[in-house]
Chain A
């Protein structure tokens, strides 16, 4: 594109009036229309989310702590060789820290540190079983209700409403009160999970309703792609991000729920090592020996905090709108 183009046009027509301004071409160069810029690396929601998350220190800090909790849960022997129950001696009851027992002793004379290390797997197991349960139930109910709509939606959503209307800890209190003789990690996880899924289902349903009206869904229908395949290949992958984000936060919620139920005495049997059980045992000695209460509480709160922070990072990374809120 050169200057003579402008001049040629000026020449051929009547001369422009005095207030007809035209910018010199060298200052306002004409660019090609709609140029394709192929970036070095592909990018979509998940790739961008990973790029965003890994830039944040909180992601690495909470991630490190979560990995640590997992390692402790899987291999408690790496962190302590004191048996949590067998070495208890009443002579040590409520004793302070000593060599080899850095956090002191419980009322029964058990090693506090060892009990915390050995109780980790309980909390984590409950958390994981609950989120698997809530995510599976939530996806099944939410996806079908949102995608098929109409009577299917009406029926599934009412069921969800009913389960949603009983706060899940209260429901678990009733179930665990009845299941006195069957208290285990599995029953408590079931008791929590069966009433905690509607939240996931609601979030997913709303997302599916948004995505299923997209033109790309209609384009696939017009190709003759089956509706189940459209749901699995196009709609669900585009709706799942908020579910992933709340899953991490629900994991923290499940850990708190187990601890609360154990604290209330309707959680796990006293033979099972659990932070909630230890807090329950220690509460009577709050005035005299706060350490036995504080250390398991701290372990519990830090673990929950790590998962909540991770949930925040994931949510921010997966939701461009949430990124703007930072």
Chain B
């Protein structure tokens, strides 16, 4: 296991430098004055422009700029926002809210996704399976903002079951609807993935051997079928975290959840370039960390990876 962790950590290093370099490159290697470009068609505040020029060391050669910027990241300095507030401070304020939202969403999508997928897989071709397939295909086809608006309109405006925007302090009750919206697409993907994984595992030889040992179906389903089917689902959760980040940006924006996503959303619609770049960088780093953690978890789930000779 030690070797696996070490190898995985080593692989993460070039990816870390590569991604940060790419983002930096996209912003600062473009033709023209990157600082002015960041402000789009707005007239920037000269004081802020000066501050940004200093922060990004634009007088230095490009590659030096990049390493100074990377050094800042290691010190927890993610730059300053459009309004001059350090990004780190905004993160401290908004991150707990997003975490709360993400945990609720992850709970819904994994618990119900795996459950529905398992039942579908075990009852392949039956009514439950057919309807869950159709519903999941429809959910996958709906862009997240459409689901958000439908949710907001039906449950918020028409039925009045939930608040259309989240109140101050983001209480859990208010977060349920946005979390369900956020969970919906991944839920559908998890249902489909679990289903096909369960069907495939059920037909494997070792499952038949488990029956031949005299085990009951009640034992074989969780221990031999579900346990093995979880491996691809966990892999999916890692890549899906990117979808969750984009989804959080849109959902938090629409429901006005005071989280990290909403900050990015507001910055995007107000064309506040520096904030956008800083927050995208933060999200990408978060994505890298989550992927690393999931990969390590994967080692726990699959002994074939844990004990590579």
- Judge A-B direct contact (beta carbons within 8 Å): yes
Give every chain B residue within 8 A of A161 (Cβ-Cβ): 11, 14-15, 18
A174 partner, pick from B23, B125, B199, B253, beta carbons under 8 A: B23
Chain B residue with the shortest CB-CB distance to A287 = B157
Per the bound structure, the CA–CA distance linking A117 and B286 in Å amounts to 40
The contact string, 1 if C-beta is below 8 Å from chain A, for chain B 128-160, is: 000000000110111111100100110001000
Q: Is the CB of B143 within 8 A of A178?
A: no
Cβ 8 A contact of B140, one of A170, A283, A286, A308: A308
**Size of A's binding interface in residues, CB under 8 A:** 46
**Contacts A167-B242, A171-B26, A308-B140 known; A177 to B145 CB distance under 8 Å?**
no
Residues of B within 8 A of A312 (CB): 137
Whole-angstrom distance between the Cβ of A51 and the nearest chain B Cβ:
21
Cβ of A270 to closest chain B Cβ, rounded Å: 12
When the two chains form their complex, are residues A286 and B18 in contact, meaning their CB atoms are under 8 A apart? Answer: no
Partner of B37, one of A159, A180, A293: A180
Roughly how many angstroms separate A264 CA and B246 CA in the complex, as a whole number? 11
Return chain A residues, CB-CB under 8 Å to B273: 177-178
Q: Which residues of A lie under 8 Å from residue B250 when comparing CB positions?
A: 260, 263-264
**Interface presence of A279 (CB below 8 A):** yes
Q: Which residues of B contact A180 (CB under 8 A)?
A: 37, 40-41, 271
Once the chains are docked, how many angstroms separate the CA of A259 from the CA of B143? 8
**Interface 9-residue window, one of B51-59, B86-94, B105-113, B276-284:** B276-284
**A252 contact from B141, B149, B243, B268, Cβ within 8 A:** B141
Chain B positions 246-277 with a Cβ under 8 Å from a chain A Cβ? 246, 249-250, 253-254, 264-265, 268-269, 271, 273, 276-277
Cβ-defined contact, B287 with A162, below 8 A: no
- Range of interface residues on B (Cβ < 8 Å): 35 or more
When chains A and B are docked, how far (Å) is the Cα of A110 from the Cα of B139?
A: 30
Is A165 a contact partner of B284 (Cβ separation < 8 A)? yes
Q: Contact: B277 with A174, CB < 8 Å?
A: yes
A92 interface residue (CB < 8 Å to B): no
Residues on the B chain within 8 Å of A174, using CB? 23, 26-27, 276-277, 280
Contact mask B1-44 → A, CB, 8 Å, 1/0?
A: 00000000001001100110011001100100010011011000
Given contacts A165-B287, A171-B22, A264-B268, 6 further A-B pairs with CB under 8 A are: A158-B14, A167-B287, A263-B145, A286-B149, A286-B153, A325-B196
Binding site for A on B (CB under 8 A): 11, 14-15, 18-19, 22-23, 26-27, 30, 34, 37-38, 40-41, 124-125, 137-138, 140-146, 149, 152-153, 157, 195-196, 199-200, 203, 242-243, 245-246, 249-250, 253-254, 264-265, 268-269, 271, 273, 276-277, 280, 283-284, 287-288, 291
